[in-house]
Amino acid sequence: MTVAVVGALLLCASPAARAANRAANMQKTALKLQNDLDQSLSESNFDALRRMVLRKDAATLVDAANARAQGHRPKRGPLHKAEKDLEKAFSSGLLNTDDATQLNLDLADFKDAVKNKYHKP
């Protein structure tokens, strides 16, 4: 009975409510990636300039998620560049293996949230 009620509630949820939920998921995953990156950079072998660039890339993801939550459509170019830069950094071997694995998972979660945001009705 509970499953039927929950399913009915999900079907009745307005498109605006579903969009807000997806935008919140984007924000949550972007912030998690940013926090995990900040923690792992202190133990990494990146130089100071590269650390600054990676923090800027993570901030780009957070800014895009915040813009989307406010109903704006962020530019895809800077977002795509930040994602690619982070992917390269995570696979460079300059991070602790466990940190790199976690950051790759965080980035994959963010990409899934973006994909759901842009492609779901």
| Predicted pLDDT of residue 24 | 87
Instruction: Name the DSSP class of 75.
Output: -
Please give the residue range of the domain that contains residue 44: 16-119
User: Is 3 among the domain residues?
Assistant: no
User: Is 42 among the domain residues?
Assistant: yes
Ramachandran bin of 71, using left for φ above 0, alpha for ψ from -120 to 50, beta for the remaining angles: left
| Predicted pLDDT of residue 119 | 47
Of residues 21, 26, 39, the one with CA closest to residue 83 = 26
Per the structure, how many domains does the chain have?
1
Of residues 100, 27, 89, the one with CA closest to residue 63 = 27
User: Is 88 among the domain residues?
Assistant: yes
| Predicted pLDDT of residue 115 | 84
Contact between 109 and 32 under an 8 Å Cβ cutoff? The reply is yes
Average pLDDT of the chain to the nearest whole number:
86
User: Is 4 among the domain residues?
Assistant: no
User: Is 31 among the domain residues?
Assistant: yes
Give the number of other CB atoms < 10 A from CB of residue 80. Answer: 12
User: Is 2 among the domain residues?
Assistant: no
User: Is 25 among the domain residues?
Assistant: yes
User: Is 24 among the domain residues?
Assistant: yes
Place of tokens 């790199």: 100
Ramachandran bin of 47, using left for φ above 0, alpha for ψ from -120 to 50, beta for the remaining angles: beta
Query: Which residues in the chain come in under a pLDDT of 70?
Result: 1-20, 117-121
| Predicted pLDDT of residue 4 | 52
